[in-house]
Structure 1
Amino acid sequence: MSDQEIKTNSIQAWIKAIRPKTLSGAAVPVMIGTAMALKNSNGSNFQAVAAILCFIFAFIMQIDANLINDYFDFKRGNDNDTRLGPPRACAEGWITLTAMKSAIIFTTLFACLMGLPLIYYGGWQMVFVGICCIIFCFLYTTKLSYLGLGDILVLIFFGVIPICMTYYIVLPKEQQTITGQVFLLSLACGFIIDTLLLINNFRDRDNDVASKKFTLITRVGAKIGIKLYLLAGIIGIILVIIAFTLSPTTPQRELIAIIIVSLPYLFLHYCTYKKMGEIWQGKELNIILGKTAKNMLIFGIMCSIALFIL
């Protein structure tokens, strides 16, 4: 079905609104945190239900963030004819504002409902973590992304919090802790996922300037911005290498694990960066957005596999 044939508030319209391709950003950190917990618990008393709940909570929060972004960007007039990104549901008339507002309320409450059982596995501090996730989910689109704080939020809410909290929750209760290795990997994941935000903001830089949205890219300019895209991926892999060296394993296993993660990702990331430079601007940069999402997912899969080799 073409975009022109999508009926208002139809199933096809809601599929477009939730942006399924972005869900890899929610899956990757939970995947890595779960893999680390599974390895370090040696599979004994591994809390599989907690892992499933973490995945569900992450997916719902990502969908919630997408709907909030769609609704408020349209309300602020950002999703106009000059926008270069993929079409948005409210702007295209696929979803009415009333329906979108109801969906945001529903997904927010549903995320809270799915997050409540995590208190049993991780303690009452999970309430504070969940509240922070929901608050910043709203503040990102409405305030913080306009102040150039989006990249910091990605490091925290797509790196540190999901990996560290998933690892902590999924471990058997008598083993629950957060190690230096876990923290380093969470930062690495944050930098890798931030490449998605960087290419998004790189593509929209002219529209963001016109909308007075001061992202990191609009602040430093396109020439430095594209270098930051490359650097974010490299920093992520450097942090992975440092984290892997903290494992009590043989040098041979350590080297194999590092190669499995670093070589495929760095090759793909560099190729995507070169293509990004060739395109430079316009709607064609959406190709790079898709490639970046795939690179990110490959990183998550390879990192999870490598953890079992260490």
Structure 2
Amino acid sequence: MQHQSISDQLSPIKPDKNWRIWWNLLRPHTLTAAFIPVTLGTVLALPSGQIHVGLFLAMLFASMFIQIATNMFNEYFDFVRGLDNEKSVGIGGAIVRNGVKPKTVLGLAYALFALSLLLGVYICMMSSWWIALIGLICMAAGYFYTGGPVPIAYTPFGELVSGAFMGLGIILISFYIQTGTLTSKAVLVSLPISILVGAILLSNNIRDLDGDKENGRKTLAILAGRKAAVNILLSMFLISYVLIFVYIFTDIVGLWSLLVLLSVPKAYTAIKEFKQKEKPIELMNAMKSTAQTNTFFGFLLTIALILQYYIA
């Protein structure tokens, strides 16, 4: 497939549809995977002293820009490789459904990376230039997730990479730029969020299992099989909640952290629907519930840490 000839055939989008097309292209439901880790990492820094609001906002927007750019790279490269069409489930659809030129999507992704770099310079000036190296690695992971000769999305390591960078990495950077150091507590508290970020990708790969298999991908869901993949997802949920109990028992976090249990119904809904349904369109709510598990879990854990700091 020659993507240039296809892109030339796509007509410009109508002005009255612009806002909705661009909004869908952002895939806003994925942005909590950036918002929650930055906020949690910053809240973990509360006991160290005053929080630098400028650093928090810079880190937040840089992380969200990288997340959005990653979504756009995904949209672009999946189109170029012929994986997406107008009936594809779970995509922004700007290219295949709405006529946005592929080069426009790619250019926007690079522009967002540039904005992230500018914010990164500010963050480094206010903290440490070592952050620049880590930030570049995070950006490379976002690009090579679907770009490059061997995209990460085609391998069994997608969940590990996404969890490491969008969970552990962002939380620890957010903590470090506020405190100038790292602690074992920050590392440990980041683990359940990292697992749940990986769970979001696994749920996506379970939904897309049949189509990904036809297109030659070797995701964890494909290699394990649908039933085993759902059980892995269940295990990821269980481990995340068990870790909170362990942390409470060992005084790493306080009893307020039991608030995360309010997110259990979302995890239950996700597993129930993945066990009962198989068609991609039928699994959209299951994937949504998985993402909401991460969002509610992370938000409630953040609230718990704030309460622990101000009340305990």
TM-score normalised to structure 2 length: 0.88
Is the 1:233–1:269 Cα contact (8 Å) retained in structure 2?
Answer: yes
Aligned to 1:24: 32
Following superposition, the deviation at residue 167 of structure 1 comes to: 0.7
Is the 1:257–1:307 Cα contact (8 Å) retained in structure 2?
Answer: yes
Structure 1 spans left out of the alignment, 5+ residues: 1-5
Aligned to 2:166: 158
Aligned length: 292
Aligned to 1:14: 22
Structure 2 spans left out of the alignment, 5+ residues: 1-12
- Residue identity in the other structure for 1:146: Y
TM alignment of 1:72-221, pairs within 5 A: 72-80=77-85, 83-142=88-147, 143-171=151-179, 176-221=180-225
| Residues 109 and 248 of structure 1, relative CA distance in 2, 3 Å threshold | closer
TM alignment of 1:26-65, pairs within 5 A: 26-38=34-46, 40-41=47-48, 44-65=49-70
Aligned to 2:239: 235
How far apart in 2 are the matches of 1:248 and 1:23? 28
- Residue identity in the other structure for 2:279: Q
Is the 1:14–1:95 Cα contact (8 Å) retained in structure 2?
Answer: no
- Residue identity in the other structure for 1:195: A
Following superposition, the deviation at residue 244 of structure 1 comes to: 4.0
How far apart in 2 are the matches of 1:148 and 1:248? 32
Give the secondary-structure state (helix, strand or coil) at the position aligned to 2:145.
Answer: helix
| Residues 302 and 248 of structure 1, relative CA distance in 2, 3 Å threshold | closer
Following superposition, the deviation at residue 222 of structure 1 comes to: 0.2
- Residue identity in the other structure for 2:105: M
How far apart in 2 are the matches of 1:247 and 1:270? 27
Give the secondary-structure state (helix, strand or coil) at the position aligned to 1:84.
Answer: coil
How far apart in 2 are the matches of 1:102 and 1:242? 46
- Residue identity in the other structure for 1:78: L
| CA displacement, residues 81-102 of structure 1 (integer Å, 9 cap, x when unaligned) | 6633345211214421121122
The share of aligned pairs that are identical, in percent, is 26
Following superposition, the deviation at residue 121 of structure 1 comes to: 2.8
Following superposition, the deviation at residue 220 of structure 1 comes to: 0.3
- Residue identity in the other structure for 1:69: N
Q: What is the CA RMSD across the aligned residues, in angstroms? A: 1.9
Asked if 1:287 is matched to 2:285, the reply is yes
Following superposition, the deviation at residue 182 of structure 1 comes to: 0.9
Following superposition, the deviation at residue 49 of structure 1 comes to: 1.1
Asked if 1:265 is matched to 2:263, the reply is yes
Give the secondary-structure state (helix, strand or coil) at the position aligned to 1:92.
Answer: coil
TM-score normalised to structure 1 length: 0.88
Following superposition, the deviation at residue 48 of structure 1 comes to: 1.5
Q: Which has the higher contact order (CA 8 A, sep 6+)?
A: 1
Is the 1:260–1:306 Cα contact (8 Å) retained in structure 2?
Answer: yes
How far apart in 1 are the matches of 2:66 and 2:280? 29
- Residue identity in the other structure for 1:308: I
